[in-house]
A and B are shown apart, each in its own frame.
Chain A
Amino acid sequence: MRRRSVLFAVVCATGLSGCKATQPPGKLETETVNYAKHHFFIGNRSEKNPLPYTPQNWQDGKEAFSHYCIACHGMDGQNTGVPFADHISPPIPSLASAEVQSYTDGQLKWILDYGIRPSGMPGSSGTLSDDELWSIVLYIRHLPPAGSQGVPEMYTH
Chain B
Amino acid sequence: MKKKRVPMVVSFGVLAAMFFGAHSASAQEAPHRIEITAKRFSYEPSEITVKKGQPVVLVIKSLDTAHGLRFRELNLNVTIGKNGAGELSFTPDKAGDFTGHCSVFCGSGHGGMSLMLHVVN
Contact = CB atoms under 8 A, between A and B. Distances in A.
Interface string A110-141: 00000000000000111111111100000000
Interface residues of A, number: 12
A67 interface: yes
Taking each of A64, A129, A130, which has the highest tally of chain B beta carbons within 10 Å of its own beta carbon?
A129
Given A131-B72, A131-B101, A126 B109 contact: yes
Classify chain B's interface size.
10 to 19
A94 B111 CA distance: 25
A129 to B, nearest CB: 5
Nearest to A135: B72
A127 B110 contact: yes
Nearest to B109: A126
A67 B111 contact: no
A124 B101 CA distance: 15
A87 to B, nearest CB: 27
A27 B72 CA distance: 44
B101 A67 contact: no
Give the top 6 A-B pairs by smallest Cβ distance, nearest first.
A128-B111, A129-B111, A67-B105, A129-B101, A126-B111, A127-B111
